[in-house]
Amino acid sequence: MYDDVSLEAFSLLSMQTPTLGQYPLPNLRSINWWIDSWDTVPFLRLFLNPELASVQIVFPDDRPHPYLPATISLIPTGELTHLQLEQMDDEDFRQDAFYDLLDGASGTLKSISLDRKLSVAIAEKILQLPHLRCLDTEMPEARISPPAVVFPSLEKLVVSYKEAGSWLHTLQNIPNPVLLELEASFSGSSPIYLQTLGSSLLGASIERTLVSLECTSEGRIPLTEAGIRPLLSFGGLTKLNLFSACTTQRCNFQLNDFIISELAVALPRLRALSLGSSPCKVATPDVTVSSLVALSANCVDLDSLQLHFDANDIVTRRSRTSSRTHKSTCKLRTLRVGSQPLSSKHDDILLVTFTILHIFPHLETILYTGGPWDRVKQGVQLFQKAPRIIPIPTES
């Protein structure tokens, strides 16, 4: 049984909701409440006035949640546009209280953030919200039966899912997609997860609107050409981040110069590009300085780049890249190199520094996690801070 204090709190919680004039802050439009103890719930009730537009609540992490349904039922729905609930159980999304909340706010909700896996019924309800623009949640593994119209107003989707990825087929029911941003986190082990995702997005015609795509694989799945290729149709992308962590024994980055050059041509509007997680200590011989040149030449607005490449290829080629990059106007300012291998010889360090600056003349910093890259970073910053010599025109 629960202690006397908790029972008293539950009794207070069950009291009639105050009238508008009784709220201590009747003009309050937004509330962000971290519930450390269920004993504080009666105080939360005093601030849940009918005019609230934004509600963010973090529930206690003790189990079970004896008061959670009653607390959810107190959230006003008349003006609610933003809803964020954290530390709920999967089972909480099978309760009538949360379904009733969505039903009551269906005409106003524009943003939902939930940190637990939805039930199928709740997922199907959310798919139908007519004004929903942003959704951050975990989809159920069971297959969802989509309504005739799905996400009619959705602009940003942050979703995590497992092996089945059953939610993907629902995207085909978006009538006139307006999706601008997608962040997908995959925790399964399928090597074709990225290829499947890209094909599903193409089938939903989302490539016409999408400007930001971020995909994370928690299962250390290889990043391959087959996974990249469906994304080459997303010509409007300004941000593309594809993360797949490497192990100490194996690099999961399996791309080459050919596919990266294709990507650079297909996605010229890119401003941020990350391919693979922080480059590891394993050499990547199939990606050379040619990829850097291709990105510099085609993605002139690129500001941030994270890429596995063979830095020692610059040393091997020596001056053979200079003539191909002398007209570079790429705006890149940040290059993430991780701890990928690099020669520690002084002359090689200088060659790598000046070649990278030649390819990316606006480079300001190099982010690294090991090796001699600190010397390259220092060289880049020293060169950029050095005064430029401007010739004085002579009189004719």
Q: Where are the domains of the chain?
A: 26-109
Axis-axis angle for helices 289-298, 346-359 (nearest 10) = 20
H/E stretch holding 334 = strand 334-338
Phi, psi of 58 (to 5 degrees): -110, 115
| Residue pLDDT, tens place only, 273-299 | 999 988 988 888 899 999 999 999 999
344-357 tens-digit pLDDT: 999 999 999 999 99
Residue 343 near residue 313, CB atoms below 8 Å: no
Q: What is the per-residue pLDDT for 318?
A: 63
Q: Indicate the burial class of 207 (C-beta count within 10 angstroms; 0-12, 13-18, 19 or more).
A: buried
Of residues 144, 181, 137, 135, the one with CA closest to residue 164: 144
- Residue 10: predicted pLDDT: 40
Scanning the structure block, which residue is given the tokens 């890119």? 270
Taking only the tens place, the pLDDT of each residue in 368-382 is 998 899 999 999 988
- Cα(377)–Cα(393) distance, integer angstroms: 34
How high is the pLDDT of residue 89? 80
What percent of the chain stands above pLDDT 90? 47
* E-assigned strand segments in 77-169: 82-86, 111-117, 134-138, 156-161
Tell me, what's the pLDDT at 117?
A: 86
Instruction: Report pLDDT for 323.
Output: 43
The reported pLDDT for the residue numbered 43 is: 80
Supply the mean pLDDT for the chain. Answer: 85
Q: What is the structure's pLDDT at 3?
A: 37
Q: Which residues contact 143 (CB under 8 A, 6 or more apart)?
A: 120, 164, 166, 169
The confidence score (pLDDT) of residue 334 equals 97
| This prediction's pTM | 0.87
Intervals of the chain under pLDDT 50 = 1-15, 20, 319-320, 322-323, 325-326, 396
